[in-house]
Amino acid sequence: MTTMDAIPAVPDTIYPVVNWTEADASRSARWRSESGAPPPKRVTVADDRITADAAYRLASEGSALLWRGDFQNARQLLQAMARRIDRKPRKAASSPTEAFNFHRQYQSQRARTLGMVLLPLEADYSIPLRRAVDVRQACTEAYGPGDEPSLVSLREILGLIGAHEWRKTGVDIPALGERIHPHYGVFSPVRGEYVGLVAEAPLPSLKLAFDIGTGTGVLAALLAKRGVKHVIATDQDPRALACARQNIARLGLAGRVDVVETDLFPPGRAPLIVCNPPWLPARANSPIEHAIYDPESRMLRGFLNGLAAHLEPGGEGWLILSDLAEHLGLRLRETLLAAFDEAGLNVVARMDTKPTHPRATDDADPLHAARAAEVTSLWRLAAR
Ligand SMILES: C[S@@+](CC[C@H](N)C(=O)[O-])C[C@H]1O[C@@H](n2cnc3c(N)ncnc32)[C@H](O)[C@@H]1O
């Protein structure tokens, strides 16, 4: 069994710390959790001898397992634990909204249980375990430069590895004729039907456009590629800003697209303002869900209410929005139309597309009925 050198206790005012006892000694280390999970209160040291049933039971009871065995075995253990969770019967729902709420409860419970298998990370993000993969680059991309040893869930590390691969390989965007490279925690245009809508909608002007909440920069890049001379792309998330700047530079568009940190709109007016806000009005379970969940429709309403004041006369605002929330009973179509009206906006036209991602046709998915009916629209809005 590998052991880690004793780490001096650190005040938890700087960052969260996890404490445990190992070989009769008190230990502590920095706790990392991108999902904002608190440090586990109980930690058991475990290795290859533990059975999946025992690991599952401990994790379900809230005990974290600090892994000291073989890295690949930990991966298999996690899969075996996931199978135990997935074969449990799901609660039957009496409405789409209830199905959505049950599904989210189930997902967060599943994440909590599977997040209980912990790995040690050295200060340089190497994993001091047998057959460990090299995650130094993936961790540096997500966390920034390493400084001291820490504990992190294996589940998070697997997510970081996946994100690193996406960032390296990029996502093909047919409408752009290029690849976009998403960063960890930044909304990825992997289900890119909406990009096709922005590629096809008639441009009201080639002079200037704002892209509100640019994420990877994909829509700003597309608008520039379509001939818009100057695009101002905004976001508030530092990872999105860095990601968008990198994609824009890679595509040779840095002279035409400015990526700026701001809440919604940059100063001034533009003849075209595009926004693809998070589409579900619900609380995010973790910070990395902010691109999907928009509590109380804050971004959607902020965009609509600020649009008229930022459009040039004759200009258009393009709102990209999935109607999944309507199929889940989380928003009414009338409420959306009333929000347009209250913001002094008229609908010029609407263009629709059906998502083609595999979950739209997976009838084992508890949200299947809503997903199968989902339509993503580009609403062309004009100020009255
Ligand atoms: C659904 S993602 C869309 C990203 C990108 N436009 C696309 O279409 O792939 C929404 C983006 O809006 C950003 N965002 C959320 N609230 C914002 C705000 N108040 N101001 C600017 N950007 C915001 C998020 O950080 C995220 O990158």
- Are 356 and 374 contacting, i.e. CB atoms less than 8 angstroms apart? no
Q: How confident is the model at residue 360 (pLDDT cuts 50, 70, 90)?
A: low
- Helix (H) / strand (E) element for 157: namely helix 154-169
Which residue of 218, 290, 305 sits with most ligand 1 atoms within 8 Å of its CB, as the best mutation to test the pocket? 290
Ligand 1 pocket check for 193: Cβ under 6 Å: no
Question: Which residue would you say has higher pLDDT here, 3 or 158?
Answer: 158
- Residue with the two structure tokens 């928003």: 331
Ligand 1 centroid vs 15 CA: distance in angstroms?
Answer: 27
Ligand 1 pocket check for 187: Cβ under 6 Å: yes
Nearest CA to ligand 1 atom 12: 213
Length of the chain: 384
- Residue with the two structure tokens 């904002």: 36
Question: Which residue would you say has higher pLDDT here, 2 or 39?
Answer: 39
- Tens digit of pLDDT for each residue in 296-350? 899 999 999 999 999 999 999 999 999 999 999 999 999 999 999 999 999 999 9
Instruction: Give residue 295's region: left, alpha or beta (phi > 0; psi -120 to 50).
Output: beta
Angle (CA) 146-149-152 rounded to 5° is 90
Give 361's DSSP letter. Answer: G
Burial class (CB in 10 A: 0-12, 13-18, 19+), 339: middle
Atom of ligand 1 nearest to the CA of 195: 8
Ligand 1 pocket check for 21: Cβ under 6 Å: no
Ligand 1 pocket check for 197: Cβ under 6 Å: no
Could you give the percent of the chain with pLDDT greater than 90? 79
